[in-house]
Structure 1
Amino acid sequence: MLWIQPLRPHRRRPALLLAIVVAATSAACTPRTAPAPAPPSSLPVAAARDLTPRVAIMSAFDAEWQALRAATTITRTEVVNNRTYHYGRLRGHDVVLLLSGFSMVNAAMTTQALLDRVPVRAIVFSGIAGGVNPGLHVGDVTVPAQWGNYQEQVFARETPQGFAPSRRTTDFGGYGMMFPQGTSVTVRHAPPDSLERRFWFPVDSQALGIARTIAGRFTLTRCVQADRCLEHTPKLVVGGNGVSGPTFVDNAAYREWVWRTFRADALDMESSAVALVAHENQVPFIAFRSLSDLAGGTEAPNEARIFGRLAAENSAAVVMAFLDALPRHAFAGPRDR
């Protein structure tokens, strides 16, 4: 037979419970030692935001702004989204110089990041472009009155009767299957997310007027070297149209279509993107574009490798003359943001 002894109450349990209560009470009543202060952070303290209203001077790549940067008294720099902002003084104005990077996406992204960070009085773009107007030459500096994004397009369906775009938002004719469309932009002071179809974005009228006043005040460069010169003396052309798109153009037939369709003096890969962002943020904008080549309009190889630096220096010379003529009180201040 298996004998099972019944369980008995543990004789030590009351004593154990009493000990736990006493220990907890003692801990609650014992004064606590203040924790040691944390060691100072190794992270740098953020610098105070610079609230000085500035003229922003932008170029797509380094060769376009070397002359401008060399002429600027730079007081400090900072890197934002891998773009170096150079703060300083140029021709009596507080300025910030930076590169947009090539093409439309980089230009738009860089411009908006700039406006979100720096109080900007106005945006001045300086660089080179392809010449479209058959009356202009390499080295000439263009200052278009408006800019359009000409390569936002519908690729049309091909039918026995020709290319038939399924939708049209402009009256511009197509180049083969490619039909330009109006850019969709946000309308300010309208319901959120509403859109407006708009192709042309005007530059600031005051800035354009100042650009007109400096024509004929200086002579633009015509020689790269003593034995490598243009056949003509470059000139400044203010007004007219400019177009931008993400494509480097070196094709005579396409160039002729751009002239016929848009009457554009110049085409580039950034200006209309900057113009759009400036428009959306209500910031004055103007672009100075010197012709480095004729976008395929000559039988010789593309001229940009030969005359690109000359064109960039001509553009910079006009920008500095523009700043000389720009009143110190022009563009009252940065937009509210």
Structure 2
Amino acid sequence: MHSSARFPGFLPAMAAGLSGLMMLAAPLGAVAAELLDPKPRIAVVSAFEPEWQVLKSELAEASEYRVNGRSFITGKLAGKDVVLFLSGISMVNAAMNTQIALDRFSLSAVTFSGIAGGVDPTLHIGDVVIADQWSQYLEAVFARETPEGFAIPPWMEEQGIAGYGMIVPRSVNVTRENASGEEERFWFPSDPGLLDAAREVAAKLDLADCVEENKCLTAKPKIVVGGNGVSGQAFVDNAKFREYVLATFGAKVLDMESAAVAHVAYSNGVPFLAVRSLSDLAGGSEGANEMATFMGLASKNSAAVVKAILQEMP
């Protein structure tokens, strides 16, 4: 979406007219959403059903609430008060449903449990990545093709991020409570305390390596804490784009939700951590994409790590 904040000088003459229209369009009698449950809880978010089922099956004292047709289930997991919900696949679904949870529950932290595509060639299917920070690699300009190559508009500031053909990534503007104005960010951080808990877990937790007796990983999976992760609106199964993501962002992993949830958590001032287990290599494997084969194993490992992190938390 274009905005005058990101693109100085864009449609400045419309400001006064828009102000009047916004006053006319404002809903009458609008009120803040009421909390569905006042108890402080940790959100445990998954993108889609197979990831969620592993965690939901171990939830104690479960109570279900529905908002906009989506289930939010409170209870205890690994001895902690939590609320489980599905973000839905995609950046928009993830952002929307995370904000709903923040508005309707008292959240002390947001954790994400799910599968992802591996980018770092030293990692293998089944490994779990817990990144230090997340970015949105498809927040971008589709640049104009010129005889000299692809070029962003001349009035747009260069940010020094290498593009992939016409796709030139950009930072985003963010607002936060008690901030004086918009802040420009490319990376959204994981919480330092949650990262410390993840390191404790990584040092002692063994991960599963077989889907069934005759479908096992070639390498024992490991937990990697640190590095970068990226998210975007595309399912990536392309070796050349995978190489670009590694070279440009130093990313270990990519998915379709984590950076959106990190963005929302940052804007709300709530600690965030994403646990992503590799179900495929985003186009880096020699044969066909293996997500369908190892999705169950990856979901199980991600859930195991999240539960162990919950146990480590105060």
Deviates more, 1:131-140 or 1:169-178: 169-178
- Distance change >3 Å, CA 269–CA 169, structure 1 → 2: farther
Aligned residue in 2 for 1:63: 50
The sequence identity of aligned pairs, in percent, is 54
Q: Distance in 2 between matches of 1:308 and 1:314?
A: 10
Aligned partners of 1:168 and 1:181 also within 8 Å: no
Q: Residues 146-225 of structure 1 correspond to what in structure 2 (within 5 A)?
A: 146-166=133-153, 167-168=156-157, 170-191=159-180, 194-225=181-212
Deviates more, 1:214-223 or 1:163-172: 163-172
1:179-213, Cα deviation, whole Å (9 max, x unpaired): 0000121144244xx42221000011100011111
| Residue of structure 2 aligned with 1:86, choices 62, 73, 76 | 73
**Count of aligned positions:** 279
Name 1:30's counterpart in structure 2.
none
2:206 is paired with a residue whose SS is coil
Runs of 5+ unmatched residues, structure 2: 1-33
Match of 2:88 in 1: 101
SS in 2 for 1:51: strand
Specify the SS of the correspondent of 2:76. Answer: strand
* Contact 1:144–1:239 (Cα < 8 Å) also in 2: yes
1:292 maps to which of 254, 257, 279:
279
Conservation of the 8 A alpha-carbon contact between 1:132 and 1:258: yes
> Following the alignment from structure 1 to structure 2, what is the Cα–Cα distance between the partners of residues 100 and 70?
18
User: Which residue pairs with 2:268 in the alignment?
Assistant: 281
For the structure 1 residues 245 and 221, does the alpha-carbon distance in structure 2 shift closer, same or farther, using more than 3 Å as the test? same
1:178 aligned partner, one-letter code: I
> Residue 294 of structure 2 aligns with which residue?
307
Distance 2:35 2:170 in 1: 44
Instruction: Give the letter aligned to residue 301 of structure 1.
Output: A
- 2: CA distance between counterparts of 1:95 and 1:258? 34
Decide whether aligned partners of structure 1 residues 160 and 121 sit closer, same or farther in structure 2, where only a CA change above 3 A counts.
same
Q: 1:49 to 1:180 in 2, by over 3 A?
A: closer
**Contact residue 278 and residue 284 of structure 1 kept, 8 A:** yes
User: Aligned with 1:136: secondary structure?
Assistant: coil
Whole-angstrom CA distance in 1 between matches of 2:138 and 2:113: 21
TM-score normalised by structure 2 residue count = 0.86
Deviation of 1:97 after TM superposition, in Å, equals 0.4
| Partners of 2:187 and 2:221 in 1: CA distance | 27
Match of 2:215 in 1: 228
- Does the aligned pair in 2 maintain the 1:152–1:183 contact within 8 Å? yes
Q: Which residue of 1 aligns with 2:235?
A: 248
Deviation at 1:52, TM superposition (A): 0.4
Q: Which residue of 2 aligns with 1:36?
A: none
Tell me if structure 2 keeps the 8 A contact 1:74–1:86: no
Distance in 2, matches of 1:306 and 1:50, equals: 38
- Structure 1: segments with no counterpart, 5+ residues: 1-46, 328-337
Counterpart of 2:202 in 1: which secondary structure? Answer: coil
Aligned AA for 1:226?
E
SS at match of 1:308: helix
CA distance in 2 between partners of 1:304 and 1:215 (Å): 23
The letter of the residue matching 1:186 is T
How much has 1:168 moved relative to structure 2?
4.2
